[in-house]
């Protein structure tokens, strides 16, 4: 993430980088560990050791299979099929080693040391936030928790009236035999009213291996250069509502201040999501996170006036006439809400986007199919 105009955030980040006496850290950690006993539990260390051992074993297995396959291929022609099969198994070992070692490196970066907890706690106190080290279940963030087993770490909450949370997350998706593990960071903001499910995928968001993605038929192209920075997805039939929510001034703020984040509105939550951790010791990351949060909070109060005029069947007796969204550098035009009457709710057709398999799921399928095909060819050749 690139740091832009850090002075605009007003953050005090000295605690993240300033040299600290170890005596102060030890004194702090004794009281901190009593308040948060889970920080001393060895579960994280044991898990890290298991991941690294598994990754090392898979790496050795890949090396052994590669050497064996080369020996078979260099030998008699009748052994060529067996050599090809060994290469296929070698490929699986490589994928397993990469997956395990990558997960281990992400968990190691989140491993809580006394110094890290001290820095995060001081940083939170300096900026009017509370700090929970975790790990803790993320069931209170219902839309994210509905996707799988959600675990939050390094949770920070500003002590303000608006509900805002910064955290790193670990999301387990799928059954035990076909489980995918996703890491990332999120800023979660509670909205004053439920809104249609809208996703803004950042062109430089880094989610190249997402397991699911909105169906491309739901993409809404906007004027100006907004499409060069984000791809907006909204439920079919909610295009005018999306234009009401994302007016030119809002789009301009997103372009100027939201860098490296996907933006997702679902139910009465707004998420700024990244494949990278957001709660880190890097001051630049924090300035970008807060700048992005400031950009979206400016529009939240206005969004609270939106109402869905459709009934539960999806019919819309009142269709509002809304001007089309223009380029972000055009003067902002007045947009009227589709309806200001009735209770805050979203009709069934607008509550969830239609999702399709993402590049991560496609890649997994390709690897499995390739393995099966190669093994079949090897058996026939043998």
Predicted local confidence at residue 251, as pLDDT: 86
How would residue 280 be classed by pLDDT, with cut points 50, 70 and 90?
Answer: very high
Q: What is the mean pLDDT of residues 158-177?
A: 84
Query: If you average pLDDT over residues 330-339, what whole number do you get?
Result: 47
What mean pLDDT comes out for the span 350-357? 85
Instruction: Compute the CA torsion angle 147, 151, 154, 159 (nearest 10 deg).
Output: 60
Mean pLDDT of 52-79: 80
For residue 114, is it within any domain? no
At 176 the pLDDT is: 66
Domain annotation covers residue 262? yes
User: pLDDT above 70 covers what percent of the chain?
Assistant: 76
Burial class, 115, CB count within 10 angstroms (exposed 0-12 / middle 13-18 / buried 19+): middle
Question: Dihedrals φ, ψ of 252, to 5°?
Answer: -65, -40
Q: How many domains does the chain have?
A: 1
The whole domain housing 356 covers 130-362
The strand ranges marked E within the chain are: 129-132, 136-137, 149-158, 164-173, 180-202, 212-214, 219-220, 230-233, 262-274, 355-357
For the CA atoms of 266, 272, 276, 281, the dihedral, rounded to the nearest 10 degrees, stands at: -140
- Residue 196 within a domain: yes
Q: What is the pLDDT of residue 120?
A: 96
Residue from 293, 274, 260 nearest 9 by CA = 293
Residue 255 lies in a domain: yes
The confidence score (pLDDT) of residue 329 equals 44
Residue 120 located in a structural domain: no
Burial class (CB in 10 A: 0-12, 13-18, 19+), 231: buried
Residue 26 forms part of a structural domain: no
117 is a domain residue: no
pLDDT at 278: 93
Neighbour-count burial of 155, counting CB atoms closer than 10 A to its CB (0-12 exposed, 13-18 middle, 19+ buried): buried
For 262, the 3-state DSSP assignment is strand
* Helix, strand or coil, per DSSP, at residue 136: strand
* Domain assignment of residue 112, yes or no: no
| Dihedral angle of Cα 179, 184, 188, 193, to the nearest 10 degrees | -50
Beta carbons within 10 angstroms of residue 191's beta carbon: 20
């Amino acid at each position: 993430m690139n740091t832009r105009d850090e002075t605009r955030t007003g953050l005090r980040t000295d605690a993240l980088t300033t040299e600290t006496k170890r005596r102060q850290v030890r004194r702090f950690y004794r009281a901190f560990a009593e308040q948060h006993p889970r920080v001393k539990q060895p579960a994280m260390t044991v898990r890290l050791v298991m991941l690294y051992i598994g990754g090392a074993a898979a790496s050795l297995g890949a090396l052994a299979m590669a050497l064996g396959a080369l020996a078979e291929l260099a030998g008699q022609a009748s052994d060529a099929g067996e050599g090809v099969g060994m290469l296929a198994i070698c490929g699986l070992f490589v994928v397993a080693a990469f997956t395990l070692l990558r997960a281990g490196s992400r968990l190691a970066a989140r491993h809580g040391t006394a110094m890290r907890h001290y820095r995060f706690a001081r940083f939170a106190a300096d900026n009017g936030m509370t700090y929970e080290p975790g790990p803790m279940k993320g069931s209170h963030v219902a839309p994210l928790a509905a996707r799988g087993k959600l675990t939050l770490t390094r949770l920070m909450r500003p002590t303000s009236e608006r509900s805002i949370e910064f955290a790193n997350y670990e999301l387990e998706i799928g059954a035990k035999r076909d489980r995918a593990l996703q890491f990332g960071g999120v800023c979660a903001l509670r909205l004053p009213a439920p809104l249609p499910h809208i996703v803004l995928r950042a062109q430089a968001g880094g989610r190249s291996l997402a397991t699911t993605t909105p169906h491309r038929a739901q993409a809404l192209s906007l004027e100006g250069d907004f499409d060069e920075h984000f791809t907006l997805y909204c439920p079919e039939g909610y295009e005018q509502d999306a234009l009401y929510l994302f007016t030119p001034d809002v789009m301009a703020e997103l372009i100027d201040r939201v860098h490296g984040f996907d933006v997702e509105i679902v139910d009465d939550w707004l998420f700024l999501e990244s494949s990278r951790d957001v709660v880190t010791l890097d001051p630049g990351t924090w300035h970008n996170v807060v700048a992005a949060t400031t950009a979206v909070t400016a529009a939240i109060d206005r969004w609270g006036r939106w109402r869905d005029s459709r009934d539960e069947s999806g019919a819309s007796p009142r269709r509002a006439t809304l001007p089309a969204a223009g380029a972000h550098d055009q003067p902002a035009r007045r947009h009227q809400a589709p309806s200001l009457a009735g209770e805050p709710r979203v009709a069934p057709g607008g509550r969830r986007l239609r999702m399709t398999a993402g590049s991560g799921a496609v890649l997994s399928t390709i690897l499995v199919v390739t393995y099966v095909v190669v093994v079949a060819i090897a058996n026939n050749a043998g």
